[in-house]
Amino acid sequence: MLQISTKGRYGVRLMIDLASRYGEGPVLLREIAGRQGISEKYLWNLVSPLKNAGLVVSFRGAHGGYSLAKPPSKINLGEIMRLLEGPLCLVGCVEKPSECGRSTMCITRDVWEEVSRRISKTLESITLAEMVRKHRTRETEVSMEGKQ
Amino acid sequence: MLQISTKGRYGVRLMIDLASRYGEGPVLLREIAGRQGISEKYLWNLVSPLKNAGLVVSFRGAHGGYSLAKPPSKINLGEIMRLLEGPLCLVGCVEKPSECGRSTMCITRDVWEEVSRRISKTLESITLAEMVRKHRTRETEVSMEGKQ
DNA sequence: TGATTCTCCACTATTTCTGTGGAGATTAAA
DNA sequence: TTTAATCTCCACAGAAATAGTGGAGAATCA
């Protein structure tokens, strides 16, 4: 279906949640789970690869939790998606030259790679900082509307 | 994994195969299957929706087969992919406003829709005619190399 | 008539997705 | 030191999608 999975969707929301609390100390998975409506257990599956890749840091024990490892302006959606969804590639191009035996295939491959490049480029151009800023703007708009 | 399925990949190859024989009468599924290395049976699953959508026409009985319903220059990869992979949308956006209850979600949706738009635009800008032309160019290049 | 070819429904095996369970390790605070 | 909080990790499982097969039947041409 060419749809991204919940891993990518939830993972981005998780990171935006963390980004909007950057500098305020560790955030509990439980809190994020509550705010985002995702089970704490499942969240761990998402935060784990992000931690291994060095995008977030964890603190164990009481008053522990997770924080971004760098400022939100230094993290883009491309790296998050790549960690959670795998290579942002519409076909298994990098790893399997075997698929490329057919000449017709090679022509179509050019197309898939072009599209893949554009997806990567688009996602890499968006940082968590921008997402947080947009989010706050929208929140303000919504609360203003409510008062009219 | 953000990968397109064999439906889309094989389907495009199927259509390029038909396009490169446009005007030469019906083409047998069996021949396409042989050339493309795809089972005849599975090909039917791909050609069926393309026929229902009016992109190809079929001829039954002896000397039957399939042909493009329009010139290759009038068919683009976007419509083929949409028929075989479903809507070219990274999230279930059009059909489910229910998913949109969360405010954070809405911010991320903007991103997914932007990327989806770019994917559509890219694929819609490429016609079968161009693919066939590229294919022939590459074939020539390969045969030239072989003679040196 | 008979061979050819498309048409269509239904079925299955495999893989991926979307989670869940539970035991254990680590740490902060009382 | 004890206790509660919290992350860590492996394994399992149900559900859905993917990829592909089988076989009977209908239409057409020679």
Contact between the CB of B67 and strand C at under 7 Å: no
Q: Min CA distance, B99 vs chain A (Å)?
A: 11
Backbone angles phi, psi at B120, to 5 degrees: -55, -50
- Per the domain annotation, does A47 fall within a domain? yes
How many domains, in total, are found in chain B?
1
Enter the pTM of the model: 0.93
- Per the domain annotation, does B54 fall within a domain? yes
pLDDT tens readout for residues B57-72? 999 999 999 999 999 9
Protein-contacted positions of strand C (CB under 7 Å): 2-8, 16-22, 25-29
pLDDT tens readout for residues B114-131? 999 999 999 999 999 999
- Per the domain annotation, does A50 fall within a domain? yes
Is 90 exceeded by the pLDDT of residue A111?
yes
- Per the domain annotation, does A22 fall within a domain? yes
Is 90 exceeded by the pLDDT of residue B22?
yes
- Per the domain annotation, does B1 fall within a domain? no
At A1, the pLDDT band (50, 70, 90 cuts) reads confident
Q: Are B119 and A115 in contact (CB under 8 A)?
A: yes
Output the six-digit token pair for B130.
């161009």
Is 70 exceeded by the pLDDT of residue A77?
yes
CA-based angle A117:A42:B107, to the nearest 5? Answer: 50
Name the closest residue on chain A to residue B139, using Cα atoms: A103
Range of the domain at B60: 6-147
Q: Touching check for B93 and chain A: CB below 8 Å?
A: no
Residue B19, domain CATH: 1.10.10.10
- Per the domain annotation, does A63 fall within a domain? yes
Residues 116-145 in A contacting B (C-alpha not used; CB under 8 Å): 118-119, 122-123, 126, 131, 134-135, 138-139, 142
- How many Å apart are CA B80 and CA B85, to the nearest integer? 8
Which residues have C-beta within 8 Å of that of residue B40, sequence separation ≥ 6?
A: B29, B30, B33
Is 90 exceeded by the pLDDT of residue B100?
no
At B97, the pLDDT band (50, 70, 90 cuts) reads low
- Per the domain annotation, does A45 fall within a domain? yes
The per-residue DSSP string of A109-137 comes to: HHHHHHHHHHHHHHHHT-BHHHHHHHHHH
- Per the domain annotation, does A106 fall within a domain? yes
Is 80 exceeded by the pLDDT of residue A94?
no
